[in-house]
């Protein structure tokens, strides 16, 4: 199998711990402020590379200090950064995050350089170098649609995590081998407020091949023409769920790369994501393959 390519966003996450999340117009006091590397694309790339597979990350960061720190972290993790662009035209992406004592969060993303990823940048990528291509929706959608077309044409296995939630045109969904939403994103995608099974049926009827729905503390389920596979999540203490969905997607891609079937890949993805909710931060909470396997063995 050729390496994994992740195309998407990179942010610096500024995380405030609060007793409870503020309501509209309300000020609450935080007990700590921490800085982490984050962003949905970068999180997925880091989760995959930590699982021990070769990964390239394509995106954009600014020439500021956050960009320097991000690149240093990527290099430490061993990501291939040939397709990462540095730009003076915008600051690095930033996410302002509040996490409450139950691990619930609120996030405001200021995209900065992520918003400059465009079709021209995608055209610089040699997709035939890669076996799997992974996308999310935290960079401009035209760039994502263009990347999916090029990845599909080049014969890559394609994964789309439709987050932040948005609708996706049917002709784009047709290019996706694994569509991986959480329940909220599935509701937006399917334009249906029914059960997960009902929403999944809507998506399969529009031609989606493999729909994998992450279900928080209930694990994940895969729906396809062959039927349904459900994998429960282990009971774990929850510190911070930021980036759990990204961890799931990255490790699922890594497990496919390693040659595991869908069911076993789901087991590894659920285990890795559940492991990550026990620690603060997104990338800071991701384990390596040994840790993932250890938890998966108990599932
Ligand atoms: P986030 O936006 O917080 O990154 P998400 O909404 O995209 O996450 P979820 O469906 O909430 O995704 O969770 C993804 C995976 O994380 C789950 O499939 C599960 O493995 C793990 N997970 C999340 N919450 C819990 C929990 N409370 N206990 C155990 N595992 C969890
Ligand atoms: O999915 C979690 C990520 O969403 C955070 O790391 C934050 O950067 C936002 O993009």
pLDDT tens digit sequence for 200-238: 999 999 999 999 999 999 999 999 999 999 999 999 999
Residue 59 within any structural domain of the chain? yes
Per-block mean pLDDT, blocks of 10 residues, the chain (299 long):
97 97 96 97 98 98 98 98 98 97 93 98 98 98 98 98 97 98 97 94 96 98 97 93 97 98 98 96 97 92
Instruction: Give the integer Cα–Cα distance in Å for 198 and 195.
Output: 5
Ligand lying closest to the C-alpha of residue 59: 2
Considering the domain boundaries, does residue 130 fall inside one?
yes
CA–centroid distance, 227 to ligand 2, in Å, is 31
Of all protein residues, the one whose alpha carbon is nearest to atom 5 of ligand 1 is 245
Residue 27 domain-assigned? no
In a domain, 163, yes or no: yes
Task: Name which residue sits closest to atom 7 of ligand 2, judged by CA.
Answer: 39
The residue assigned the tokens 């995959």 is: 48
* Phi-psi category of residue 259: left, alpha or beta, with phi > 0 → left and psi -120 to 50 → alpha: left
Model pLDDT for residues 170-195, shown as the tens digit of each residue: 999 999 999 999 999 999 999 988 99
Q: Does the CB atom of residue 243 touch ligand 2 within 6 A?
A: yes
Q: What's the total number of domains in the chain?
A: 1
Full residue range of the structural domain in which residue 153 is found: 4-19+32-296
Does residue 243 contact residue 268 with C-beta atoms inside 8 Å? no
CA–CA distance, 169 with 109 (Å, rounded to integer):
24
Nearest ligand to the CA of 240 is: 1
Identify whether 26 is part of a domain.
Answer: no
As a whole number of angstroms, the distance between CA 219 and CA 3 comes to: 27
For position 109, which CATH number holds? 3.40.1190.20
13, 68, 246, 290: the active-site residue:
246
Kindly state whether residue 141 falls inside one of the protein's structural domains.
yes
Protein residue with its CA nearest to atom 8 in ligand 2: 39
- Classify residue 71: in a domain, yes or no: yes
Please report whether residue 25 resides in a domain.
no
Give the distance (Å) from ligand 2 centre to CA of residue 102: 18
């Amino acid at each position: 199998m050729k390496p994994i390519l992740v195309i998407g966003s990179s942010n610096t996450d500024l995380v405030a711990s609060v007793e409870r999340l503020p309501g509209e117009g309300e000020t609450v006091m935080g007990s700590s402020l921490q800085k982490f590397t984050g962003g949905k694309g970068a999180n997925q790339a880091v989760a995959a590379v930590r699982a021990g597979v070769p990964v390239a990350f394509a995106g954009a960061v600014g020439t500021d200090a956050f960009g320097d720190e991000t690149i240093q972290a990527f290099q430490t993790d061993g990501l291939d950064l040939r397709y990462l662009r540095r730009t003076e035209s915008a600051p690095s992406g930033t996410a302002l995050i509040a996490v409450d004592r139950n691990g619930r969060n609120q996030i405001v993303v200021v995209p900065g350089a992520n918003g400059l990823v465009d079709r021209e940048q995608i055209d610089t990528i040699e997709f035939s170098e890669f076996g799997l291509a992974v996308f999310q929706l935290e960079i401009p959608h035209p760039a994502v649609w263009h990347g999916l077309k090029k990845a599909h044409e080049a014969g890559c296995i394609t994964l789309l995590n439709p987050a932040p939630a948005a609708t996706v045109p049917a002709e784009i969904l047709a290019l996706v081998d694994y569509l991986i939403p959480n329940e909220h994103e599935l509701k937006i995608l399917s334009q249906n407020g029914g059960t997960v099974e009902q929403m999944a049926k809507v998506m399969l009827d529009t031609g989606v091949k493999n729909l994998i729905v992450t279900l928080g503390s209930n694990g994940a389920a895969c729906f396809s023409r062959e039927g349904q596979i459900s994998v429960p999540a282990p009971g774990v203490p929850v510190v911070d769920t930021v980036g759990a969905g990204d961890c799931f997607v990255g490790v699922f891609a890594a497990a496919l790369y390693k040659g595991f079937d869908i069911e076993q890949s789901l087991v590894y993805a659920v285990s890795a994501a559940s492991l990550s909710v026990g620690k603060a931060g997104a990338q800071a909470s991701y384990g390596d393959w040994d840790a993932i396997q250890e938890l998966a063995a108990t599932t």
